[in-house]
Amino acid sequence: MIKIKDLEKIYRTEEVETVALNKLSFNVKEGEFVAVMGPSGCGKSTLLNILGLLDDPDSGSFIFNGIEVAHFNERKRADLRKRNIGFVFQSFNLIDELTVFENVELPLIYLGVKSDERKKRVEEVLDKVQIMHRKNHYPQQLSGGQQQRVAVARAVVNNPKLILADEPTGNLDSSNGNEVMQMLTELNEQGTTIVMVTHSEHDARYSHRIIRMLDGQTVTENILV
């Protein structure tokens, strides 16, 4: 599903040049659950942003589902993103002004799904993450664990092929964290490809494969299953 080759990303300011990704190459197969680990500043987040089509690389190749997307323009990226990729963030990133239901509904709105269909799908997914009873609440009325469940629901509501998770348990206590990891595992078992950036060895163990990064390059790959 994902083939990246010689990916480079360099951040430049007036005085400093920081190499975030240094000729990085690896593949992710469809249905895989990959964890990316490494110390702060190793380029994990940059990688995730490029995989999520939020950012573009300076050079190298990124083939997503057989299509070269490395130099897609913003409109094409946005289109590809909303059809194929779901995001889960450490800080949940729910919109405060929208209710739980409306937050989860948003990706479907941008996809142009009809209202009746939206209602059905949002309720289904809210049911699945067991937050249906709070669908009319606002994010700030929920606990961190509940917020992250909503975020997961939002990430999966349009049935993406790929879920990118950036430290999904970073802001949660261990029991809430385990719950979220359990949810991701279930999604993976249902066929969704997952790439997760994490600092937690415990969380990484939920994945099939751990890619360890340092200074913008992969250093080791551990296959767990």
| Shortest distance (Å) from residue 67 CB to other proteins | 17
User: Between 115 and 222, whose beta carbon lies closer to other proteins?
Assistant: 115
- CB 210, min distance to other proteins, A: 23
Distance between CA atoms of residues 29 and 162, nearest Å:
11
- Least Å distance, CB 220 to other proteins, is 26
Kindly tell me which of 167 and 206 has the beta carbon lying closer to other proteins: 167
Dihedral sign, Cα of residue 61, residue 64, residue 66, residue 72: negative
Nearer to other proteins (CB atom), residue 91 or residue 222: 91
Shortest reach from residue 103's CB to other proteins, in Å: 9
User: Which candidate, 72, 80, 64, 125, places its Cα nearest to that of 100?
Assistant: 125
- Nearer to other proteins (CB atom), residue 45 or residue 185: 45
Q: Please say whether the beta carbons of 160 and 121 come within 8 A.
A: no
CB 90, min distance to other proteins, A: 9
Pairwise CA distance, residues 104 & 127, whole Å: 12
| Closest separation in Å from C-beta 65 to other proteins | 16
User: Which CB atom, from 155 or from 211, has the smaller least distance to other proteins?
Assistant: 155
Among residues 50, 53, 54, 30, which one has the least CA distance to residue 194?
A: 30
Residues that bind other proteins (CB under 8 A): 45, 49, 52, 54-55, 74-75, 78-79, 81-83, 87, 89, 91, 93-98, 102, 105-107, 109-111, 154
Amino acid at 4: I
**Closest CB to other proteins among residues 122, 210:** 122
- Least distance between other proteins and beta carbon 63 (Å): 21
Nearer to other proteins, 44 or 209 (CB): 44
